[in-house]
Structure 1
Amino acid sequence: MQKRFPSLSLSSYGIGWSTNKRIAIVALVVTVLLATAATVAWLSGNGNGRQGRDHAAPAPASSPSSSEAAAKPAAGSGSVPKPPQIAEPVTYAKAAAQMLWSYDTRSTSRDQQLAGMRAWMTNEPKYADWASVLGQVPDPVLWSRMADQDQNATASVTEGHYPSAFKQALADDPSAITKAYIYVVTVNGRQQIAWKKGGGGAEERAVTLAVQCRPNHDCALAAIAPSVTQ
């Protein structure tokens, strides 16, 4: 019988923001979102519709060390696409989600995966929560096991939108966005996973991203955000 290996999954590998990062980013977006984020759980995938359960559910990745979180991996980006030149938050968030849900261990090392993902981040350290993105990637041992089975995934995005809490808070205080120009966007889609000997399956995916889109600049990923009211 084909041995089943965990998949690279946003909803299952998230380690969450640190308190300081969450306050620094979410409070700068809109004060109301800070209260919302404090009362809801991180996206866990438990509420998502599941299909193709012929592969194992992902196991949590080990927490990254401080040195790994601070490092900037080199050696190219493998199959990870380069960040697009997009200035509209929802469109950028949809592209970022597709990137985060896609990988190919046949042609991409873990360091290359990290390097490719890091290129999508904002270059403003105050707002870049790299740890929330790093937490989506399996640890080196698990990545190696996945590579042994040629595990790979492609993704499609069905839609992206501003959560209602974000829209309401922005309507209540339009000037708040000008402090950091960070937008909260929820993206829904589907991930198709495959491995050796015809193994594979599919899962519905959902993720909420914090995207920075300053005027006259391309957007960049700031963090994987807390889930908020849809």
Structure 2
Amino acid sequence: MPNSPSRGTDSVFRRRLLIGLGLLLAAALTAGLVARLSGGGHSARPSSASSPTVPLSPAPSPVHSAAPSASSSAPATGSAGPTVARPPHTTSPTEFATAFARTLWSYDTRALTQQSFVSGLRLWLTPESQYADASSVEAQVPDPVLWSRMRDNAQTSTATISEAHLPDAFQRAIGKDPGSLTAAYMYAVTVTGKVAVSWTGGGRGAEDRAITLAVQCRPQQDCALAAIAPTVYP
């Protein structure tokens, strides 16, 4: 059955949004605004074949956080045991992005299935379907086969967020055209942090991560996730 014109328009908009955010992040990186990841590139990311670890993948002022807040760690209801944290009630793009990155990078494969983890992350998406890009979120989660292997190894991950900020390139763009923000109230937020992973047999590992999110924060409404921009490495 052919796609409807509106669905095609939504797809084009989301693609342009991701491309635009990717360009903003690239500009911010060249300005030295995003912390350099350990190892400097994809070579620093452990492969799933050689290790049980997962391939490692803005308010105007930075947010520093080492522990989840009560609002961002409230579990979703409807199931027993550990669940995926629900979105916080906040109008701050950086506070929201901090909470989401912590949730995305923290998991317990012993207690959660891949499907339940993905479903929990979908709750963070904006209800405005023309902006919500679920596929960009799901792309950050190990596929069911890899998740099963991780579960066999009782793998868990805990994230510590270092900071979250609006890339300078994004702020300059909004400064030049303030009206562009009011179309969808979308903010680009870059979050950096460190992830500690452990698995059966006492195995442990840690590495730095960085991600840029498209966060929608309309006036007098809680922020919501629109999409995850492609990661760019220095």
2:212 pairs with 1:219: no
Deviations 1:119-145, CA, capped at 9 Å, x for gaps: 111111000010000111111111111
**Shift of residue 79, structure 1, vs aligned partner:** 2.8
Contact 2:24 2:169 in 1 (8 A): no
Residues of 1 paired with 2:12 and 2:56: CA distance? 20
> Who is 1:210 aligned against?
214
Contact 1:192 1:200 in 2 (8 A): yes
TM-score norm. by structure 2 comes to: 0.71
> Who is 1:68 aligned against?
none
**Shift of residue 201, structure 1, vs aligned partner:** 0.5
Question: Structure 1 residue aligned with 2:165, among 149, 161, 164?
Answer: 161
TM-score norm. by structure 1 comes to: 0.72
**Shift of residue 164, structure 1, vs aligned partner:** 1.2
> Who is 2:108 aligned against?
104
Q: Where do 5+ consecutive residues of structure 1 fail to align?
A: 1-17, 28-32, 41-46, 62-74
Count of residues paired in the alignment: 189
> Who is 2:15 aligned against?
22
Question: Structure 2 residue aligned with 1:124, among 100, 123, 128?
Answer: 128
Contact 2:21 2:188 in 1 (8 A): no
Alignment of 1:64-79 (within 5 A): 76=79, 78-79=82-83
Change (3 A) 1:76 1:114: farther
Contact 1:207 1:227 in 2 (8 A): yes
**Shift of residue 200, structure 1, vs aligned partner:** 1.3
2:202 pairs with 1:198: yes
State percent identity of aligned pairs.
45
Contact 2:22 2:231 in 1 (8 A): no
Contact 1:55 1:201 in 2 (8 A): no
Contact 1:76 1:115 in 2 (8 A): no
Letter in 1 for 2:165: H
Question: Structure 1 residue aligned with 2:146, among 142, 148, 157?
Answer: 142
Contact 1:52 1:202 in 2 (8 A): no
Residues of 2 paired with 1:84 and 1:108: CA distance? 21
> Who is 2:118 aligned against?
114
> Who is 1:72 aligned against?
none
Change (3 A) 1:144 1:122: same
Residues of 2 paired with 1:37 and 1:118: CA distance? 24
Residues of 2 paired with 1:212 and 1:170: CA distance? 15
Runs of 4+ deviating beyond 6 Å: 51-54
Change (3 A) 1:115 1:169: same
Deviations 1:14-56, CA, capped at 9 Å, x for gaps: xxxx754221x368xxxxx46936978xxxxxx6115897956
Change (3 A) 1:39 1:192: closer
